[in-house]
């Protein structure tokens, strides 16, 4: 009898979850199609469908707009949004604090310093057909993660509080370094300003190729450890008593989430609030179990950034807004709402 009612609860839950996922997936697919239509040049549904079918009836310029401009940008928005949301979920779970985002340990400051350094030194190395900016951003981000890790590590342990504080300290140092470089070199800073505000303008297949290996590696690691992430939510001590190797799991997961953030930040600049807000919305809908939460957060983050980016490139066309402005505009009020309603149910 009890067994029966128990299974009923779980079956009811399952039905709800399937519904949530079906909706989220169809919504995302729909968004991708919509985003393909929208832009400064008018491209009709017929052209797009024939492009997708691979027919030659599309003009060369249309093919270039769809295939080389819009499609990579849409895919990149998808990756960046998903990456930030997944990394945010992991950070929030390990640090067990809902007010944490993936930039908290100074990754964006590190990437920004990398960009500034490249501009300042006038280095124009091209790696994989790329302008040097994303490459420098990536190196800056990874160097920051590595430094913070080393600073916070006590023996083979990584105390979360030390990790956070080391991140905050490093980020302050890097921010002042960046400001100092900006003072020294005042001309031609528009690129940096755009980068700092977060933008996907000019994204191409090269960006995707550059970050894809890191993105997929980090994602695979996080997926592998999803169950452990749930156990970690019980608190480090309880998790250890359940047989989890807490320190190792924490170091691996923080590393993966940091790598993922570094990868997406290098191509998008610091797009704020997705990593903070999206995990919350997903958690409210599907609960705290990471095996269900992470995929949904990824879909939500991707859709959210795609909508914001499409808006950013169209609402003031031909001027492009940095998408970071829009995400912050939407995310800021929600963050305030969270602060005002700080209750136990925040998770």
Partner 1 sequence: MKIMLKTDKIKFSYAREKVLRGIDLEIEAGSFIGIIGPNASGKSTLLKNMSQTLKPESGAVYLDHQLLNDYSSLELAKKMAVVPQDTEVNFNFNVYDIIMMGRHPYQKRWSGLSQEDKKIVKEVMEVTDTLKLRGKLINELSGGERQRVIIARALAQKPDILLLDEPTSSLDINYQGEIYDLLNYLNQEFNLTIITVSHDLNLTAQYCEELLLLKEGRIYAAGPAEEVLTENNIKAVYNAEVLIKTNPISKKPFVTLVPEVNRIKKSKQKDFKIHIIAGGGTAKNWLYKLENLGYQLSIGVLNIGDADWQAAKELGIKMVEAPPFIDISETEIQKNRELIEKADLIILSDLPFGHGNLANLEVLFDYPEKRKILFSNFDIKKRDYIKGKAEKIWNKLLEEDQNIYLLKEKDNLISKIKKLEN
Give the shortest CB-237-to-partner 1 separation in angstroms.
Answer: 5
Within its chain, how far is the Cα of 229 from the centroid?
19
Give the shortest CB-228-to-partner 1 separation in angstroms.
Answer: 9
d(CA 345, CA 100) in angstroms, rounded, equals 16
Residue 182 binds partner 1 (CB under 8 A): no
**x-marked contacts with partner 1 along 211-230 as a string, rule CB under 8 A:** -------------x--x--x
**x-marked contacts with partner 1 along 234-263 as a string, rule CB under 8 A:** xx-xx-xxxxxx------------------
Residue 3 binds partner 1 (CB under 8 A): yes
Residues 37, 38, 96, 151: which binds partner 1 (CB under 8 A)?
96
Residue 287 binds partner 1 (CB under 8 A): yes
Give whole-number Cα distances, 318 to 218, 314, 345, in Å.
36, 7, 43
Residue 50 binds partner 1 (CB under 8 A): no
d(CA 263, CA 146) in angstroms, rounded, equals 14
Near partner 1 in 306-345, by CB under 8 A: 344-345
| Structure-token match 């340990």, residue found | 105
Query: In terms of CB distance, is 86 or 210 closer to partner 1?
Result: 86
Query: In terms of CB distance, is 129 or 238 closer to partner 1?
Result: 238
Helices 205-224, 246-268: inter-axial angle, 10-degree rounding: 160
DSSP calls for 246-306: HHHHHHHHHHHHHHHHHHHHHHH----SHHHHHHHHHHHHH-S-HHHHHHHHHHHHHHHHH
Query: In terms of CB distance, is 15 or 241 closer to partner 1?
Result: 241
Query: In terms of CB distance, is 9 or 184 closer to partner 1?
Result: 9
Residue 176 binds partner 1 (CB under 8 A): no
- Residue 64 contacts by C-beta under 8 Å, 6 or more apart in sequence? none
Do the Cβ atoms of 241 and 74 come closer than 8 Å? no
Give whole-number Cα distances, 310 to 69, 186, 208, 297, in Å.
13, 31, 18, 20
| CB atoms closer than 10 angstroms to residue 135 | 20
Residue 2 binds partner 1 (CB under 8 A): yes
Residue 4 binds partner 1 (CB under 8 A): no
Alpha carbon distance, N-terminus to C-terminus of the chain: 32
Residue 196 binds partner 1 (CB under 8 A): no
Query: In terms of CB distance, is 233 or 330 closer to partner 1?
Result: 233
Give the interface with partner 1 as residue ranges (CB under 8 A): 2-3, 6, 9-10, 96, 224, 227, 230-231, 233-235, 237-238, 240-245, 287-289, 344-345, 347
């Amino acid at each position: 009898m009890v067994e029966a009612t128990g299974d009923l609860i779980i079956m009811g839950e399952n039905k709800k979850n399937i519904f949530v996922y079906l909706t989220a997936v169809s919504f995302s697919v729909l968004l991708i199609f919509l985003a393909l239509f929208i832009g400064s040049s008018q491209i009709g549904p017929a052209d797009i469908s024939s492009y997708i079918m691979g027919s030659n009836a599309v003009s060369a310029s249309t093919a270039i707009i769809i295939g080389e401009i819009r499609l990579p940008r849409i895919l990149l928005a998808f990756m960046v949004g998903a990456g930030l949301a997944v990394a945010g979920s992991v950070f929030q779970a390990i640090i067990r604090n809902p007010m944490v985002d993936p930039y908290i340990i100074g990754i964006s400051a590190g990437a920004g310093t990398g960009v500034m350094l490249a501009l300042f030194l006038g280095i124009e190395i091209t790696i994989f057909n790329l302008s040097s900016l994303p490459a420098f951003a990536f190196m800056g981000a990874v160097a920051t993660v590595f430094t913070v890790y080393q600073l916070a590590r006590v023996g083979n342990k990584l105390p979360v509080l030390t990790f956070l504080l080391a991140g905050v300290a490093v980020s302050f140092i890097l921010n002042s370094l960046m400001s100092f470089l900006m003072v020294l070199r005042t001309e031609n800073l528009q690129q940096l300003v755009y980068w700092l505000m977060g933008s996907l303008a000019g994204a191409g297949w090269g960006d995707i190729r550059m970050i894809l290996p890191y993105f997929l590696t980090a994602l695979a690691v996080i997926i592998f450890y999803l169950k452990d992430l749930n156990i970690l939510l019980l608190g480090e001590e309880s998790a250890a008593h359940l047989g989890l190797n807490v320190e190792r799991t924490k170091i691996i997961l923080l590393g993966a989430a940091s790598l993922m953030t570094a990868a997406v930040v290098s191509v998008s600049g610091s797009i704020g609030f997705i990593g903070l807000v999206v995990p919350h919305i997903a958690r409210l809908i599907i609960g705290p179990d990471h095996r269900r939460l992470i995929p949904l957060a990824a879909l939500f983050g991707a859709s959210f950034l795609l909508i914001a980016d499409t808006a950013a490139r169209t609402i003031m066309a031909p001027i492009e807004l940095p998408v970071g402005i829009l995400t912050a505009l939407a995310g800021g009020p929600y963050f305030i709402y969270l602060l005002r309603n700080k209750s136990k149910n925040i998770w």
